[in-house]
């Protein structure tokens, strides 16, 4: 182990201890026992454990959102105040265990993004379009060509993607560097997750359609979403994807989680 690794290991242990200290604070505050040793709870936490004031306050404020969520409260000792605070208001007694699983396996930026998306459920743009007889004719022909089973939304998406990048189609060769590059280009090197504006960094390949029609370029955070059971309809076109809170049970996803660490 080199010096840096040694330092990291100790830092991790220090964080773990700090999480456990923070876990105890609300009870100490409620009991009033701290008054024997300091004027305020912040002073007490600083005097004996050098805990930052802002973290102490965050911990105490968090308590009211944890009253009927024992698993989430317990998780503070493992993952810290900041990660738990990101989901405390969103989680319910029914789904808190699932959130705990996500906190343990997802990175902090990914939890941050998840919390943001759950707080602002998006309004999808919807409109009705009345087709002229000519357009209706064209639409029917296009639908026949692209696949009669596709929904109107899927056809429109195919057309818009082709418009962005003409002549690109998926093939069924094995997944190569070139394939990944092409997939990224179809999405203009952007993350395929709805409304994400980030550059794509990784290519997600659920491989459940038997070909490569489900390859998606994603940013690192949304790739984590895919492998944490958070995306409903993940093998369908991105506009069909929906955020969901579910336990990770898929073996591939569990392998990914292990690999990412």
Q: Which residues bind Zn ion (CB under 5 A)?
A: 191, 193, 196, 198, 204, 219, 222
Q: Which is nearer to Zn ion, 204 or 228 (CB)?
A: 204
- Give the span between the Cα atoms of 46 and 27, in whole angstroms: 17
How many CA atoms lie less than 13 Å away from 134 in the CB half-sphere?
A: 0
Q: Residues 221, 113: contact at Cβ < 8 Å? A: yes
Least Å from the CB of residue 123 to Zn ion: 19
Q: Residues 108, 82: contact at Cβ < 8 Å? A: yes
Q: Which is nearer to Zn ion, 127 or 259 (CB)?
A: 259
Least Å from the CB of residue 95 to Zn ion: 23
Least Å from the CB of residue 240 to Zn ion: 16
Q: Which is nearer to Zn ion, 102 or 222 (CB)?
A: 222
Which helix H or strand E contains 111, and what residues bound it? helix 108-119
Q: Which is nearer to Zn ion, 59 or 212 (CB)?
A: 212
- Give the span between the Cα atoms of 129 and 176, in whole angstroms: 40
How many CA atoms lie less than 13 Å away from 219 in the CB half-sphere?
A: 14
Q: Which residue shows structure tokens 């991105």?
A: 238
Least Å from the CB of residue 25 to Zn ion: 36
- Give the span between the Cα atoms of 38 and 254, in whole angstroms: 47
Least Å from the CB of residue 193 to Zn ion: 4
Question: In sequence order, what are the residues at sequence separation of 6 or more whose Cβ sits closer than 8 angstroms to the Cβ of residue 47?
Answer: 37, 38
Alpha helices in 50-93 (DSSP H): 53-62, 70-79, 81-87
Q: Which is nearer to Zn ion, 99 or 193 (CB)?
A: 193
Q: Which is nearer to Zn ion, 59 or 222 (CB)?
A: 222
Dihedral sign for Cα atoms in the order 97, 84, 255, 183 = positive
Q: Which is nearer to Zn ion, 125 or 208 (CB)?
A: 208
Least Å from the CB of residue 245 to Zn ion: 18
Least Å from the CB of residue 241 to Zn ion: 11
């Amino acid at each position: 182990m080199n010096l840096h690794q040694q330092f990291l290991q100790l830092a991790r242990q220090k964080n773990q201890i700090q999480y456990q200290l923070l876990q105890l604070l609300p009870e100490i505050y409620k009991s009033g026992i701290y008054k024997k040793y300091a004027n305020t709870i912040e002073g007490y936490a600083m005097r004996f454990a050098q805990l930052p004031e802002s973290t102490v306050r965050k911990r105490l404020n968090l308590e009211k959102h944890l009253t009927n969520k024992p698993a989430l409260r317990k998780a503070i000792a493992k993952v810290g105040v900041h990660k738990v605070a990101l989901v405390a208001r969103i989680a319910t007694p029914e789904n808190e265990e699932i959130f705990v699983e996500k906190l343990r396996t997802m990175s902090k930026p990914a939890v941050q993004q998840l919390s943001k998306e759950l707080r602002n459920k998006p309004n999808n743009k919807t409109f009705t379009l009345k087709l002229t007889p000519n357009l209706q004719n064209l639409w029917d022909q296009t639908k026949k060509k692209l696949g009669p089973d596709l929904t109107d939304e899927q056809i429109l998406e195919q057309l818009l993607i082709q418009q962005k990048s003409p002549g690109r189609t998926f093939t069924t060769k094995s997944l190569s560097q070139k394939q990944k590059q092409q997939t990224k280009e179809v999405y203009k090197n952007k993350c395929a997750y709805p409304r994400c504006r980030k550059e794509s960094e990784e290519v997600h390949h659920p491989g459940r359609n038997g070909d490569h029609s489900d390859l998606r370029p994603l940013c690192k955070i949304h790739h984590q979403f895919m492998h944490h059971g958070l995306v409903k309809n993940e093998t369908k076109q991105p506009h069909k994807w929906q955020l969901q809170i579910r336990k990770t049970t898929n073996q591939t996803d569990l392998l990914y989680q292990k690999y990412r660490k």
